[in-house]
Amino acid sequence: MTRFNLEDRFLHGGDYNPDQWLDYPEILQKDLELMDKAQANTFSLGIFAWSTLEPEEGVFHFEWLDKIMDDIYAHGGNVILATPSGARPSWMSKKYPEVLRTNASREKNLHGGRHNHCFSSPVYREKIAIINKKLVERYGNHPALLMWHISNEYSGDCHCDYCQENFRHWLKKKYQTLEELNEAWWGPFWSHTITDWTEIESPSPLGETMVHGLNLDWNRFVTDQTIDFFEHEIKDIRRLTPTIPVTTNFMADTYDLIPFQSLDYGKFSKHVDVVSWDCYPAWHNDWESVADLASKVGFINDQYRSFKQQPFLIMESTPSGVNWHDVNKTKRPGMHLLSSMQFIAHGSDSNLYFQWRKSRGSSEKFHGAVVDHDNDEQNRVFKDVVQVGQALEKIKEIKGSYKRAKVAIIYDSDNNWALGDAQGFSNASKQYSQTLQKHYRYFWNQDIAVEVITKEQDLANYELVIAPMMYLISEATMKKWQDYVANGGHLVSTYITGYVNEHDLTYINGWPRPLQELFGIKVTETDSLYPKDQNSLHFENHEYVVQDYCSLFEVIDSEVLATYGADFYQGQAAVTKNKVGKGTAYFIGARTEAAFLEMFYGELTRQYGLENQWVVQGDSDVSVQARDFEEKSYYFVMNFSQEKKEIQVSEESQDLLTNETVLPTISLAPYEVKVLSPIRLK
């Protein structure tokens, strides 16, 4: 049992950079006072502190960190201690330029920024191993140490000679022979046959970007190389502190709040003990409703919960605005509590912030923080944080609970990369991630729990699995889908599925057989529509607008649920249903408007008993998410709108935040959240 599991409270606090304030002892003193007032209990230390920890090569200064760790502990707090590899001291870049990254154009970066290091550099690996060992030897038994925060937001790639060598080595291991590699990369195309391993170079705007097999392998290599670096970082940590959990902070794709595009986090998540992530939605923006954005945040939370099927952590969020959106709007009253509770509702066991205190200089001096430049607890943001601290204390019995969902959506990184690369279809409107989020939206609106899983995860527990746009699909995945449906599962797939295999090579001899058998159709063509084009689906006397993509297919042995309304394929099958074994396989041939998905999934959820039984009358701006212990359930009821809302639930409940008893009809003020526990279960 790790210390984290033994903690009986939610983590509340965040990134703390005392190393920026060592010349201001009164500030460090004030921090301790304010930490108590903010009900903050956990701080991530040392994330970018390498130049303070090792100001000269081989000269280490830990006294300041000793004191901060001791002080935080004396105030009842925990520390998530970081390894400092996210940024390096300037002496290191100067003496060993190899530690810096080389970009795809083969230019060596200068010292500066952060996350600007080569994952292969032997010197960087040696230097990080030394400092990490010193940290674990010194603090491994410190009573405040709760968890290891390895590096910071690993991302990016390096194209230096070391990385090229490692890439070639990785390819040799994978393909064994150049014949195999040339087959996978379709070598003769444009005379690209490789005749010696040393000819292989990573993708570059100066050289190769059109060999899709190479691009896909490079993306996979970058994930593996990043994980390899992570594993290198934690060698001594694992050996010396086997019971202290290890994490690294994942991201989402910034503004869009779609899954992070450049690393396969599903793979990475197997190497961490707890998944944690940094979440920065642009609340109250002018292009989408708060509920639209909240559902995307919900999607990513569900993905991070589902990777390990256990509670995850919010490692960073902001108590107000950030500094890097185009417009950095502060949260409206109520939004901070609501957005914080949303994390918890989806399975987070923390709400941690970037940052504890605003820095005085450099680019993040105006980034939202718990403590502003006024150095005071009287401002609105600090009070909002206190409110969250109090709320987390009131609901602390929920920590560690977990609810499995009966519906899963598959997100696949390989597919995302390959489809992104594919030149064809409608290049500008592929929108794989956004499509998944549109399908998810129905379930979010209906308060039906969803897990967002990888293609490798087990499907057996799900009643319904949704796998849109699986352009890249291996025969193994097809077999898995067949087995799932044969054993009683219900599967939904869509247009642009089943084009290429795991090497990004197209299937030949028609649409893959296993998919033909599963869906009872044979896709023959995909029509791509211009943005102003439209077609329609005719389904049970209703017409639904379709855009972007229409698959044309022969029906082999499948029930036709909808037909196309126009064009040369008017009247042909557009949506089908095929019963196979004990289950059903649905195929949606076109990109539809949301109204179609609502109707379609409405039917399926009714048919398969997936509706949220607790919510009698919901509202699409009010999200309800549950967390469970075996004997007890908790419902987070969250109003993501500026309007007052009412929803009706099936039983009288108690609000853990206010202790009020709530009748089956629940009234919510704008942006209000209630955390309810049904009274019967108490």
Q: Is 415 exposed, middle or buried (0-12, 13-18, 19+ CB in 10 A)?
A: buried
Q: In angstroms, what is the minimal distance from the CB of 363 to ligand GAL?
A: 8
Comparing CB distances to ligand GAL, the nearer of 13 and 187 is 13
Comparing CB distances to ligand GAL, the nearer of 277 and 511 is 277
Q: In angstroms, what is the minimal distance from the CB of 317 to ligand GAL?
A: 9
Comparing CB distances to ligand GAL, the nearer of 7 and 153 is 153
542, two tokens: 């209703």
Q: In angstroms, what is the minimal distance from the CB of 378 to ligand GAL?
A: 24
Comparing CB distances to ligand GAL, the nearer of 50 and 495 is 50
Q: Is 502 a catalytic residue?
A: no
Q: In angstroms, what is the minimal distance from the CB of 377 to ligand GAL?
A: 22
Give the separation between CA 496 and CA 267, rounded to whole angstroms: 24
Catalytic-role residue among 7, 233, 316, 672 = 316
Residue 182 backbone phi and psi in degrees, to 5:
-65, -35
Q: In angstroms, what is the minimal distance from the CB of 388 to ligand GAL?
A: 18
**H/E/C letters for each residue in 244-308?**
CCEECEECEECCCCEECCCCCHHHHHHHCCCCEEECCCCCCCCCCCHHHHHHHHHHHHHHHHHHH
Comparing CB distances to ligand GAL, the nearer of 354 and 484 is 354
Strands of 556-602, DSSP E: 559-564, 573-580, 583-588, 590-592
Closest CA to 40 of 398, 359, 312, 357: 357
183, two tokens: 């087959």
Dihedral sign from CA coordinates of 504, 467, 277, 374: positive
Dihedral sign from CA coordinates of 255, 113, 330, 311: positive
**Cβ-closest position to ligand GAL:** 354
Type of residue at 659: N
504, two tokens: 């990004």
- Helical ranges in 348-459 per DSSP H: 380-394, 413-421, 432-445
Comparing CB distances to ligand GAL, the nearer of 359 and 642 is 359
Please give the residue ranges that form the binding site for ligand GAL (CB under 6 A).
Answer: 152-153, 278, 280, 316, 322, 354, 364, 367
Give the separation between CA 10 and CA 399, rounded to whole angstroms: 6
Contact status, residue 562 vs residue 520, Cβ threshold 8 Å: no
Dihedral sign from CA coordinates of 86, 255, 277, 333: positive
98, two tokens: 């190899």
Q: In angstroms, what is the minimal distance from the CB of 325 to ligand GAL?
A: 9
How far does the chain reach from its first CA to its final CA, in angstroms? 28
Contact status, residue 480 vs residue 514, Cβ threshold 8 Å: no
Q: In angstroms, what is the minimal distance from the CB of 459 to ligand GAL?
A: 33
Comparing CB distances to ligand GAL, the nearer of 339 and 526 is 339
- Give me the count of residues in the chain: 682
Catalytic-role residue among 7, 153, 233, 502 = 153
Closest CA to 28 of 61, 52, 64: 64
Q: In angstroms, what is the minimal distance from the CB of 358 to ligand GAL?
A: 11
Q: In angstroms, what is the minimal distance from the CB of 158 to ligand GAL?
A: 19
Q: Is 530 exposed, middle or buried (0-12, 13-18, 19+ CB in 10 A)?
A: exposed
Q: Is 153 a catalytic residue?
A: yes
Give the separation between CA 422 and CA 420, rounded to whole angstroms: 6
Comparing CB distances to ligand GAL, the nearer of 36 and 364 is 364
Q: In angstroms, what is the minimal distance from the CB of 362 to ligand GAL?
A: 11
Comparing CB distances to ligand GAL, the nearer of 357 and 455 is 357
Give the separation between CA 6 and CA 481, rounded to whole angstroms: 39
What's the CA dihedral at 641, 646, 651, 654 to 10 degrees?
60
Comparing CB distances to ligand GAL, the nearer of 54 and 153 is 153
Which residues belong to the active site?
A: 153, 316
